[in-house]
């Protein structure tokens, strides 16, 4: 879930791809955003990303957006929320 969704991970009974994926953690924990980017760049990273929020909401540099654009493609939309799958 990009940038939140603890309830989704809980209901799916699956851990998040990165433990610091929640909005406030990304803002407050040094290196948390880098861990998200590393996960997105890794071939062993998440297969799917749910775009609950736009990447630039927490990453003004555009790096997260570029990783999403280069490594994932849109596979669906549920209630206005885009779902991406790894290329």
pLDDT in tens, 51-73: 888 889 889 999 999 999 999 99
Q: pTM value?
A: 0.81
State the total domains in the chain. 1
**Angle, vertex CA 66, rays to CA 82 and CA 1, nearest 5:** 35
Q: Report if residue 62 sits inside a domain.
A: yes
pLDDT in tens, 30-48: 998 999 999 999 999 989 9
pLDDT of residue 42: 95
Domain coverage including residue 54: 6-86
Q: Report if residue 1 sits inside a domain.
A: no
SS (H, E, C) the chain: CCECCHHHHHHHCCCCCCCCCEHHHHHHCCCHHHHHHHHHHCCCCCCEEEECCCHHHCCCCCHHHHHHHHHEEEEEEECCEEEEEEC
For residue 70, CA distances in Å to 47, 84, 86 come to 14, 11, 9
Q: Report if residue 73 sits inside a domain.
A: yes
């Amino acid at each position: 879930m990009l940038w939140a969704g603890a309830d989704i991970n809980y209901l799916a009974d699956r851990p998040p791809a990165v433990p610091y994926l929640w909005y406030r953690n990304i803002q407050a924990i040094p290196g948390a955003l880098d861990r998200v980017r590393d996960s997105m760049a890794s071939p062993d990273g998440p297969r799917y990303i749910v775009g609950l929020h736009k990447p630039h909401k927490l990453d003004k540099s555009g790096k997260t957006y570029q990783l999403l654009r280069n490594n994932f493609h849109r596979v669906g939309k549920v209630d206005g929320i885009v779902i991406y799958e790894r290329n």
